[in-house]
Amino acid sequence: RKPIKFIAHYNSVIPLAGGYMNKQKVSLAPGVVYENQAVFETLSMGLNFMLDPVYCGIWSRSRKVIETGDNYNAAIIMAGIKTSVNPDLELNIGYSYDITISKLAKSTTGAHEMSVSLAFDMRTLFPSRKRSLKAKIQGTEKCYNMLF
């Protein structure tokens, strides 16, 4: 039986420019992800720059084996594009490269990753649900799943 995995994350979008007058939206999106499973612990932190519909970012990841104290660190660069499939569905396609910066750099040069995600309009999926306070404040009801 596998141990329980605990994940906590925080993501935010900070608008810099754009809106009704300017069709190209510019924003920053900082994020933090913490993962823990048995003796493994990972902390990822980063910042994405979004110039709608393109985004790019830089992240750092620190992976630690709690029992031994060994650290495996990486820097991550990423880029992607998001596009509307229809008014209720958004498609995100991304690429990232993990650059190993720990002692494992002698054994590996890094890893390439591709991601594909869909963002559904929550009103289409759950038409009878009331809008949450968060959705009212943000002015959106889309659920984003950005992989890195």
The size of the chain, in residues, is: 148
Residue 110 to residue 114: CA distance in whole angstroms? 14
Residue-wise pLDDT for 44-72, tens only, equals 999 999 988 899 999 999 888 666 666 77
Residue-wise pLDDT for 77-104, tens only, equals 999 998 988 888 889 999 999 988 876 5
pTM of the model: 0.68
Burial readout 17-56 (b: 16 or more C-beta within 10 A, e: otherwise): eeeeeeeeeebebebebebbeeeebeebebebebeeeebb
Burial readout 111-140 (b: 16 or more C-beta within 10 A, e: otherwise): eeeeeeeebbbbeeeeeeeeeeeeeeeeee
In which element (H, E) is residue 21 found? none
